[in-house]
Chains A and B, each alone.
Chain A
Amino acid sequence: MISENKKTLAARYGMSIDVDRCNGCGSCMVACAVENNVPPANANATDRTGLTWIRVFKVDNGLEGADRRSAFIPLLCQHCGHDAPCVSVCPQQAVDIDPATGVVGQMPERCLGCRYCMTACPYHARYFNWWDPAWPAGMEKTLNPDVAPRMRGVVEKCNFCHGRWHAAKAKTAAEGNTAIDPGDYMPACVEACPTGAIQFGDLNDSSSLVARNARRAESFRLLESIGTDPKIHYRSTKAWVRDTAHPPRPGKENARG
């Protein structure tokens, strides 16, 4: 599986996120939780132990008072294209890159819960199930039947709504086609975003909106210098927002508070 990410992929799904259009409403976060049967927080959960496959972070330009400016950056699994650190460290082969889609998948059935992948992920986009999944009485009726809830003790993360990909694939096959229509496959966060800040599509299709946005001058990727080839492309017209994508220089880690 690991070697297959070196091959040419049939599709290379990715996102383009316009940071300037994100108002931090959190719709993407709750839409993701609804779609993927992520439970509400345990009473003891914190921002370090919670389960948020996509999390919107507020960043600022480091200035105070009237000069302060903020932006919201939705952070999810970056679906690294090359040498995904989580793939190489997993002792259980519970993480792989799907050669058909380029999606970095996580198989909770294989996961041992060692959390090496969480340590290895430079984006902190993986989450561990510290507690049994629990919903208020009756709310389990609202679970999505296309996604199995995960058990305590395993790691989980964004998979570009794999259930939706399966549904789109089934629909395509039923119609006698081979290629998924872009309109049939859209992750829940993309569909939910009220400002249209998140776009999704095949980066291998150079005519797709997401591929065109990825080529724009103001487009950037997080920690691009470490060479993981992430498939989440951000863009902003503000230079200080683009600068947040670079790793902090040694000794400067806490300069922004």
Chain B
Amino acid sequence: MKQSRRNIFKFAGGAVAGAFFTPAPWRLITDTALWSESWPGIPRPVRGDVTAKFTNCGLCSAGCAIRARCVNGQPVSLAGLGGGLCPFGLTAHHLPFHPARLTQGPVEEATAAVKARGTAGLAILDLNPGRTASWTYRRAMASLKGSYLATADPVAYDLSSVRTVLSIGTPLLDGWGTPSKVFPARRNFRLIQAEALESRTAVMADQWIPLAPGTERIYAQQVLATLRGRDTSPVAAQLKANGPSVVIGDAPEVAEINRLLGAWGKSVVARAEAPAPDSWRKEAAPVTALDTLPEGSVRTLLIDESAAASYIPWDRIAPKLTADALVVTFAATKGGYVRHATYALPIAIYPEFMDDLGPAADSADPAWRISAPLVPPPAAVANLAEFAGALAGISASNTLRERAGAIHKAGLGTLTNYATGNETALKEVAAEDFWKVLSEGGAWQNVAAKRNPPEISTAPLVPAVVGAAPDLPLLAIREPAQPALVSPLMTKLYQESNLRLAPNRVALHPDEARAANLRDGARAILYTHAGRCAVQVTVDSAVPPGSVYVGSSPGIQDICSPAAHAKVVPA
């Protein structure tokens, strides 16, 4: 072939075209995918010694027993012992790295400001009562003549022996109790769920009774009237016929219903605390309900938001404060009361610090569990128990050990060691071993303790009324409360699927959304009589017309109480 420039170009062109008929370029594509495997931006999991640590989940009072799989001491996954876990508990080892975590705060400045105020009008608001730290707060307030404010629910339920349960709006199967207790018990009772929305509990109930939003209390009054022979309610008849029965709900009538059903003192008992040193009980301030506090009486308010699942709307707290009140919140997240506080101080969170757990709603017997730390806390965190203890001159550094000593001294109950699975009578365990097991993953329980009925409120039961507000046409239904800080992986449930309503979202029936000119995902403003809040909209045909299902963010809770009148308009 003659060598010419034209032929050289023809040969080169033919070679390029021919290459596509060989495996080479296709192999190159595969190899490109292989090379991309080692992009430097992809994190490489750390390898190392795999060990197991045991603790109790500190996110709520259910306190599920946890086995943590650790690599070089760092937890990489959590699993429940004796049952599964809720999604919040499963991902708690991510919380120390949460981007919304509060990490800095003026600890010294806040301390100086509180000391300068003196002790007049001092109060502590404990959102996670029933712990040993709560006893420290009470002792400190007794010493300083301050008020200890708490929202403790005095009632515990034993579901293991009941045959029928009527739940009026309680998320019984969705975070209310300990999964490893509630779900095995569920196999033995018939569950009737009465609430406005077909919730996760209602889906699993044997019977769901749809109520109009805001009429839960009217329904409870109807059941009570039937039990008193003044009305007819098929559900009340079922409760009587298929006993033992129990009713669970927030309505004030529920206590009287349970008394008439014979559950009071049997499956409904006073929530029992583990023994505490006698000296603590003698020195403790009484528990004061926030609503009974005179208006404008609090000059300095210290708030414990650690592991708080409950949130009190700010408009219930604000009237109790003086105009120049100093508010110091000990918080894990930038949400919550940080928006209203003079000082926000960062705290260590589960699973970083050692704390005990208050009694659970489904634990009729006294129990004591410690949430043992799995990772070290960051530097420069505050601790309200030590803060209040220092103000009152009380040492708060060894109180858990003292409490364990008091329990051991009583000598009752059994100790469960999570690592070995052994259960031992407490009287056979030495004091040092008792503390060692509890602080490395264990639980004390006294199932033989005498059960006491809760005190019945003497407040008169007044008829419930659902008011009207023409300018706010919707009635609010609230999503059950969830921990203040949740793992970034919860986006799987909030954003990458629509399984749970995100805390900053509201859900509307398609007809309501259409009437308000809102589409799925739209930004909107939620209005109530208490204020307004920016939200995002989810359109869901499961939401009853005439109502709005609201998330549980503090911003929404501040303006939107259950059954509040509301409206949603485009932002």
Contacts and interface: CB of A to CB of B under 8 A. Distances in A.
Interface of A: 20-27, 29-31, 33-35, 37-38, 40-41, 45-47, 49-52, 55-58, 60, 64-66, 68-72, 92, 108-113, 132-149, 151-154, 188, 191-196, 257
B39 interface: yes
B489 A34 contact: yes
A34 B71 contact: no
A7 to B, nearest CB: 27
Given A25-B174, A25-B200, A72-B203, A145 B45 contact: yes
Given A25-B200, A26-B500, A139-B94, 19 more contacts: A23-B201, A26-B499, A30-B91, A30-B487, A45-B495, A51-B496, A69-B208, A109-B34, A110-B30, A110-B34, A111-B33, A137-B97, A137-B99, A141-B97, A146-B45, A154-B33, A188-B77, A192-B85, A194-B183
B497 A29 contact: yes
A257 B30 CA distance: 42
A37 B45 contact: yes
B86 to A, nearest CB: 6
Contacts of A49: 496
A127 to B, nearest CB: 9
Interface in B527-558: 541-542, 544
Interface string B446-459: 00000000000000
B33 A23 contact: no
B488 A40 contact: yes
A154 B45 CA distance: 19
A23 B480 CA distance: 14
A22 B200 CA distance: 9
A141 B74 contact: yes
A147 B42 CA distance: 13
B36 interface: yes
A46 B83 contact: no
22 contacts: A24-B499, A31-B87, A45-B491, A45-B495, A46-B495, A52-B492, A58-B498, A71-B203, A92-B33, A109-B33, A109-B34, A110-B33, A113-B33, A136-B98, A137-B99, A139-B97, A143-B45, A143-B76, A149-B43, A188-B77, A192-B85, A196-B183
A34 B78 CA distance: 9
A35 B96 CA distance: 18
Interface in B1-58: 29-30, 33-34, 36-37, 39, 41-48
Given A112-B33, A144-B45, A41 B87 contact: no
Contacts of B34: 109-110
Interface string B490-508: 1111011111100000000
A29 B87 contact: yes
B32 to A, nearest CB: 9
Q: Which 5 A-B pairs have the closest CB atoms?
A: A50-B496, A194-B84, A194-B179, A41-B491, A143-B45
Given A26-B499, A68-B542, A192-B84, A141 B90 contact: no
Contacts of A72: 200, 203
Secondary structure type dominating chain A contacts: loop
Nearest to B48: A145
A194 B497 contact: no
A26 B87 CA distance: 6
A113 B183 CA distance: 42
A50 B490 CA distance: 12
A110 B27 CA distance: 11
B86 A27 contact: yes
Among B41, B85, B87, B487, find the residue whose CB has the most chain A CB atoms closer than 10 A: B87
B386 interface: no
B176 to A, nearest CB: 12
A142 B497 contact: no
Nearest to A191: B79
A5 B262 CA distance: 61
B489 A33 contact: yes
Contacts of B487: 30, 40
Given A31-B90, A34-B90, A145 B46 contact: yes
Contacts of A27: 84-87, 90
B33 A56 contact: no
Contact of A132 (B39, B99, B491): B39
Given A139-B97, A192-B79, A21 B491 contact: no
